[in-house]
Amino acid sequence: MPAYRPEEIEKKWQAHWKAHSTFQAHNHSEKPKYYVLDMFPYPSGAGLHVGHPLGYIASDIVTRFKRLHGFNVLHPMGFDSFGLPAEQYAIQTGQHPALTTDQNIETYIKQLSSLGFSYDWSREVRTSDPAYYKWTQWIFLKLFNSWYNLDTNKAEPLTDLTARFAERGSEGINAAGDADERQVFTAGQWQLFTEQQKLAAVHPYRLAYQQDTYVNWCPGLGTVLSNDEVKDGLSERGGFPVERRLMPQWNLRITAYADRLLQGLDTLDWPDAVKEMQRNWIGKSIGAEVTFPVQDHKNAQIKVYTTRVDTIYGATFLVLAPEHELVDELTTPGQRAAVDEYIAATKRRSERDRMADTKTVSGVFTGAYGLNPVNQEPVQIWLADYVLAGYGTGAVMAVPSGDQRDYVFAQHFGLPIPAISDAQQGLDQQADPTKEGRYINSGIINGLTYKEATPKLIAFLEEKGLGKGKVNFRLRDSIFGRQRYWGEPIPIYYKDGTAYGIAETDLPLVLPEINEYKPTETGEPPLGRAQNWLYRGQYPYELSTMPGWAGSSWYYLRYMDPTNEARFVGEEAEKYWGNVDLYMGGAEHATGHLLYARFWYLFLKDLGLVSSNEPFQKLINQGMILGRSNFVYRINGTNKFVSLGKKDQYETTALHADVNIVENDVLDIEAFKKWREEYGGAEFILEDNGTYLCGVEIEKMSKSKYNVVSPDVLIGKYGADALRLYEMFLGPLEQYKPWNTNGISGVSGFLKKLWRLFHPEDGDLAVTDEPATPVELKVLHKAIRKVQEDIDKFSFNTSVSVFMITVNELTALNSHKRAILEPLTVLLSPYAPHLAEELWQELGHEAGSISSASYPEFREEYLVEDTVVYPIAINGKVREQLQFPATATAAEIETGVLASDFLARFGEGKSAKKVIVVPGRMVNVVV
């Protein structure tokens, strides 16, 4: 065969793998199982750029490595195919989102296949496929028909709850959620309830429930957005204004699982940073719930949660969220206009902006006063946008001497800042939250320490019915509805205004066809446009759809048994695969997706439907590949561009240039003129050597910066194996790395050099069956040991270095022996699978069989040295090196040194007083 031609080899083996289902996993095997999962990609219209495959390449290397070690490996791929981008494109073009989504998926599959990933494509799932989202809807119905029993600490069917209602009413029910929202009734009253009344009584217990909730409403997009989709008060997509609005929304009671989600983190092999982010997001705190009566309002009370009840005597004002339910009732006529204006301004800010803005001080006095429950002192009630309605109680007990944010607020508005501890210092400058010292100005806890004061205050509040000790979590229930079209329909219908779950036998509830994909003229979600869309011909359906994270919360389970029509995953398949052994994906999913997926898994565990304790045992977050942007410099007011070396002579504006028309930072001027119409007549001031040199900056890879490099182009030029190796070679997997296309040519050269070990001078196969020499075996086994260690540590960049060193050493030895090259081919196959398959077949093995080969066994004896070179020193100063057998004893080495001419040459006529031998390292002669 002539020179190495990756374009021919790679297409050949990709076609072979597809035709022979080479990587198909089986749910029944005597082999140990290993489940490798890549995070679900959303198939955007832009396709993949070179930054996307980084994690896929790494997971594929592990997948192939595990197969070589005798594992039955599940390595699937599918698509998170519902989402807002496809819907927005549909609104703009009128084209059904399913069409663009399918087109984008086909592009993704083509690109992923061109990289040689060993996916089991027979298990592909798409969240927008009714056969898949039937089971997403089924899980929702299970949540809808379950409650969380705090006594058993698990989810249970609502039928168990209603049976208890019938037996003894609502008394003694210990359920997750807000007890204040629930009715109190006897068993007799329950029996007399109508169907509607029973459902109303049950609804606040459900794990999937409907409630008026503050959401990020975007009128321009006609939908609710998550906090992640809002930036600086605008939608990330389209830049439309977003406001906080109270709307009826479906919620999932993830808060019921807060403590279990927290405890489970200790069992996981995840990056510490990710686990810490989840701990902070869950935000467990131990404190007290305190009730402040409202002066002149007999039935009005403000509940606050505090972790520092010991500071309650220093609470000089209360701060409510502008959305708090009591605001309207408490606001006095004189403050009405100011309060209304402040609330209107707050609606234009997202929760994220309000939480992040620690510099702006804003607020408004309601005119009302609360009463401090421990001393009956009146405290002003203010509104401030740093308090959020959905966090805790939506009210804060402000202690300005102990909390800096309260301190700044109090200073700004001239509110009192009394000291409450004899250890507080510098209160004229800032708050001091110390727990040291003893309390002053603090009534019943005067003179006590923190440890003494806290239980005494809680006991006092509980005795007076004004508070209680409580564990709280920052985590909030998940808003589950979206006012969009392109998502899973929520399987709910309404009868006389009451929500019912559709029968499981009627699943899937398929998205109806509609004529437009935007909200109706009356403000209903897009599904309001569906004609005659009624459950069993008479009951209206829920018009919201599920959020994007619904389908991605359980997809890893469907991969185990994707064609099962009777169950979301078969029992045997689920028990065989258990959980995911290695999950690879971006750190941007540290809280959202990973938290929701764990929540759904724990819920399914409660129902006895899954067998492990957690879904993902090991998690790796690959770093981002950053773009290497190029810049041209336009002289201001002209269409003339000056090269980097001469730009300081002019006033210029730096403009991004397409990196695909730049090589080694030199601009292809003719291509630049053709790139954009306005540059067609551009003039250029060049370097002295006649080239145009571009500027360089490392930044995020993005279409807007024209620094996106398509893998298709590089595969066409260098081959997929070269791209795979180069992405791994860029640096440690978990770090951010700048992309530089120029470096891939070196990796391409390495593969050609490897090819020539089999095909000297690009000629015919010249592998011999001669026995390997000790030197050749040493080179091979050094590589086997190091690559094994590297893959076990997910240190893929150092493995590529090892391959390069090994090939260089074997080339220098002119080694063409099967005993060396055959194991080397297997060793390389996870990284460069196409070339390895080709060489494996040339070595006489069955076509496509390298995946079922055995990984080369490392043998220590090939690295044992026959001799050791010892540095020889006189009085600690090295003067000579002498070689001794590796088996030589200290006495034999001492005799050999003294028998040599070493002392005669370096001892200055002195005799040896002592000879110190450090075995395997050095010898020191003391004279």
Please report which confidence band the pLDDT of residue 805 belongs to, taking 50, 70 and 90 as the band edges: very high
Res 18: pLDDT = 97
Q: Choose among 927, 888, 901, 906: nearest CA to 917.
A: 888
The C-alpha atoms of residue 219 and residue 542 are separated, in whole angstroms, by: 20
Q: Cα Rg for the chain, rounded, in angstroms?
A: 35
pLDDT at 246: 77
> Can you tell me whether residue 503 is helix, strand or coil?
coil
Per residue in 623-649, pLDDT (tens digit) is 999 999 999 999 999 999 999 999 999
Low-confidence winner among 228-232, 465-469, 517-521, 759-763 (lowest mean pLDDT): 228-232
Q: What is the pLDDT of residue 420?
A: 97
Read off the pLDDT of residues 857-883 as tens digits, 9 standing for 90 and up: 999 989 887 778 899 999 999 999 998
Indicate if the pLDDT at residue 818 is higher than 60: yes
Q: 645-687: per-residue pLDDT in tens?
A: 999 999 999 999 999 999 999 999 999 999 999 999 999 999 9
The highest-confidence range among 330-344, 464-478, 731-745, by mean pLDDT, is 330-344
Mean pLDDT of 446-457: 95
**What does the pLDDT read at residue 226?**
73
Structure tokens at 888: 């030589």
pLDDT bin (cut points 50, 70, 90) of residue 91 is confident
The pLDDT value given to residue 267: 97
**CA 35 to centroid of chain Cα atoms:** 18
The average pLDDT across 212-226 equals 78
Q: Write out pLDDT tens, residues 888-915.
A: 899 999 999 999 999 988 988 898 999 9
* Mean pLDDT (whole number) for 797-812: 96
For residues 204 and 180, give the distance between their C-alpha atoms in angstroms, rounded to a whole number.
Answer: 10
Specify the pLDDT at position 170.
Answer: 96
pLDDT at 741: 86
Pick from 15, 1, 23, 284: nearest CA to 830: 23
Of residues 132, 127, 125, 123, the one with CA closest to residue 23:
123
CA distances from 834 to 9, 53, 746, 760, 853 (A): 6, 17, 18, 20, 15
Q: State the binding site.
A: 703
Whether residue 247 is predicted with pLDDT greater than 80 in this model: the reply is no
Residue with tokens 């794990």: 207
Neighbouring CB atoms inside 10 A of 842's CB total 15
Predicted TM-score (pTM) of the model is: 0.85
**How far, in Å, CA of 769 to CA of 427, rounded?**
85
If pLDDT is split at 50, 70 and 90, which confidence band does 365 have? Answer: very high
Q: pLDDT at residue 1 above 70? A: no
Give dist(CA 58, CA 38) in Å, integer. Answer: 10
Could you tell me how many residues make up the chain?
927
| pLDDT score at 520 | 83
CB atoms within 10 A of CB 538: 8
Q: How many Cα atoms within 13 Å fall on the side-chain side of residue 2?
A: 2
What's the mean pLDDT in 504-521? 92
**Which residues are within 8 A (CB) of 864 and not within 5 positions of it... i.e. 6 or more apart?**
886
Enumerate the known binding-site residues for ATP. 703
**What pLDDT score does 589 carry?**
85
CA 453 to chain CA mean position, Å: 42
How far is 267 from 270, CA to CA, in rounded Å? Answer: 9
Residue 17: pLDDT band (50, 70, 90) is: very high
Is 80 exceeded by the pLDDT of residue 522? no
**Span 114-168, pLDDT tens digits:** 999 999 999 999 999 999 999 999 999 999 999 999 999 999 999 999 999 999 9
Neighbour-count burial of 250, counting CB atoms closer than 10 A to its CB (0-12 exposed, 13-18 middle, 19+ buried): buried
Burial class (CB in 10 A: 0-12, 13-18, 19+), 811: middle
Residue 83 is predicted with a pLDDT of 86
Mean pLDDT of 360-379: 95
Q: What is the pLDDT of residue 352?
A: 73
Q: What is the mean pLDDT of residues 444-471?
A: 94
Mean pLDDT over the full length of the chain:
93
Strands (E), 311-360: 317-320
pLDDT at position 393 is: 87
429 conformational bin, left if phi > 0, alpha if psi -120 to 50, beta if neither? alpha
Cβ partners under 8 Å of residue 875, min gap 6: 924, 925, 926, 927
Mean pLDDT of 314-329: 94
Q: Which residue has the tokens 């429950």?
A: 373
Helix then strand count (H, E) for the chain reads 29, 35
Q: Residue 198 corresponds to which tokens in the numbers above?
A: 């029973």
Average pLDDT of 582-608? 94
Answer with the residue of higher pLDDT: 358 or 843. Answer: 843
Give CA–CA dist 306/397, Å, rounded.
Answer: 7
Q: Where are the beta strands (DSSP E) in 115-255?
A: 146-149, 154-157, 208-218, 223-225, 230-231, 234-235, 243-252
Structure tokens belonging to residue 490: 């929520």
Closest to 128 in 3D by CA, of 526, 535, 510, 516: 510
**Looking at the predicted structure, is the pLDDT value of residue 412 above 80?**
yes
User: Kindly report the CA angle at 464 between 450 and 315, in degrees rounded to 5?
Assistant: 50
Q: Which two tokens stand for residue 870?
A: 């010892």
Q: SS in 3 state form for 432-488?
A: CCCCCCCECCCHHHCCCCHHHHHHHHHHHHHHHCCEEEEEEECCCCEECCECCCCCC
* Over residues 415-432, mean pLDDT: 96
Distance CA 668, CA 659 (A): 10
For residue 524, pLDDT over 90 is answered with: no
Work out whether strand 317-320 and strand 378-383 pair parallel, antiparallel, or are unpaired.
Answer: parallel
